[in-house]
Amino acid sequence: MEKTKIILDENEMPKKWYNVLPDLPTPLEPPLDPRTKEPLTPEALEPIFPKELIKQEMSDKRYIDIPEEVLEVYRLWRPSPLYRAHMLEKVLKTSAKIYYKYEGVSPSGSHKSNTSIAQAYYNMKEGTERITTETGAGQWGSALSLACNYYDIECKVYMVRSSFYQKPYRKSLMNIWGATVVPSPSSDTEFGRRILKEQPDTPGTLGIAISEAVEDAVAHDNTKYALGSVLNHVVLHQTIIGTESKKQLEQEDTYPDIVIGCCGGGSNLGGIGLEYIKDKLEGTYDPRVIAVEPSSCPSLTKGEFRYDYGDTAEMTPMLKMYTLGHTHVPPAIHAGGLRYHGDSPIISKLHAEGLMEAVSYDQKEVFEAAVQFARTEGIIPAPESSHAIRCAVDEALKCKKTGEEKTILFNLSGHGHFDMTAYDKYFEEMV
């Protein structure tokens, strides 16, 4: 009897995060000071991040221990299940085996809790009393609200305006866990007030929300800023996804030919993919690793690989990454979590080095796959994660044509329980 869920026991949960930095074929270009354009010193980041996270951001250690206190919270939902998509395979009539790692089992409903818990923990250790952040679709804001609640830290979330109104219940969720949420641009920061005056009708962007959250953190005592994607330490904390998935696939006596993740800032893709990129770099295996992005915000597939600001107000360090330009305003698409102008420097480097592919899909194709998935596997996927589903389905259909029995692994990074307006719109547009 083939299994549906491949489960690890709590004591099989990885106790280390995998840091790809020392393994990269060429060193990552350093972040630059936004004013001087000189490489940043770690000290320059201390007004906004705790020291331990800055250390992780630049670490050359291959493995970093996960603190016992973080493991304790992880155990609320980790190890997360790996599913064999029997029902989807049957409907597709594919010869491929499709597996998905389901990160929607975390209380906040996505992979974001893997890093929010770690970030809040290190902040607590260093005495931070308040954390500010931005959120797009709301997954990151929810995850950080829950994490701050655990470590008794106040949490203020700047939520991209279009998502704030499209997803009112994400705000309710953050409120339940004790956070304060405002639509961005807001009147709570100087930069927000400026944007509100210049572009009163803007749907907002992650870039603007980041600027507001950083300004707020710098302006207040004992306040730090937390980012939910892009940075090296964030990607690091997500690697537990891939490490678990490899152990689970070993139980199935298989190894993936293709590893797929949606890509906004790049953290869930790095989370599922770096464990397998490690094997490519070591030469033991050679799986394809695919980033999937929306065609309306195609940073990897159509952006330029160059230094750019992480935010709109040019307050953050400059990062070498694929970017559409830091003033780019993508349309208010349903997958708000993928509306970022840039990409993780790690993901960008791997793509530039030819170690990772990138594809893009438009919303309609993505929601078609989402509904097909919901009607077979049952789970309602987040619009972001549905990009990965679309790609997995297409790869499985290719196998159907060729008769190949490939093993496809994708990361189902979150559920879509707070994205019903997006589904409603998809159905309306179909009529």
Q: Which residues bind a second copy (CB under 8 A)?
A: 1, 3-5, 7, 9-11, 72, 75-77, 87, 105-109, 146, 149, 168-169, 172-173, 175-178, 371, 374-375, 377-380, 417-418, 420-421, 423-424, 427
221 or 428: CB nearest a second copy: 428
**Least distance to a second copy, CB of residue 223, Å:** 22
Distance CA 250, CA 296 (A): 37
**Least distance to a second copy, CB of residue 46, Å:** 30
Are the C-beta atoms of residues 228 and 133 closer than 8 Å to each other? yes
79 or 242: CB nearest a second copy: 79
**Least distance to a second copy, CB of residue 425, Å:** 10
Are the C-beta atoms of residues 258 and 399 closer than 8 Å to each other? no
147 or 300: CB nearest a second copy: 147
80 or 205: CB nearest a second copy: 80
9 or 198: CB nearest a second copy: 9
Closest residue by Cα to residue 115 from 156, 157, 143, 77: 143
**Least distance to a second copy, CB of residue 402, Å:** 28
**Least distance to a second copy, CB of residue 295, Å:** 23
Q: What SS3 state is found at 375? A: helix
121 or 309: CB nearest a second copy: 121
**What letter would DSSP give residue 416?**
-
List the Cα angle 262/25/341 in 5-degree steps.
35
91 or 196: CB nearest a second copy: 91
**Least distance to a second copy, CB of residue 148, Å:** 11
**Least distance to a second copy, CB of residue 118, Å:** 15
**Least distance to a second copy, CB of residue 218, Å:** 29
Closest residue by Cα to residue 87 from 102, 71, 105, 100: 100
**Least distance to a second copy, CB of residue 426, Å:** 9
Element (H, E) at 318: strand 318-323
169 or 285: CB nearest a second copy: 169
Distance CA 206, CA 186 (A): 13
The region that residue 340 occupies, defined by phi over 0 for left and psi between -120 and 50 for alpha, beta otherwise, is beta
Amino acid type, 139: Q
424 or 429: CB nearest a second copy: 424
In the structure encoding, which two tokens stand for residue 216, read together? 């707020």
- Name the burial class of residue 252, with classes exposed (0-12), middle (13-18) and buried (19+) by CB atoms within 10 angstroms of its CB: middle
- Name the burial class of residue 86, with classes exposed (0-12), middle (13-18) and buried (19+) by CB atoms within 10 angstroms of its CB: middle
DSSP 9-39: -GGGS--EEE--GGGSSSPPPPPB-TTT-SB
Distance CA 103, CA 242 (A): 11
Per DSSP (E only), the strands in 378-426 are 407-412
Distance CA 372, CA 390 (A): 10
9 or 60: CB nearest a second copy: 9
DSSP 135-177: ESSSHHHHHHHHHHHHTT-EEEEEEEHHHHHH-HHHHHHHHHT
**Least distance to a second copy, CB of residue 231, Å:** 24
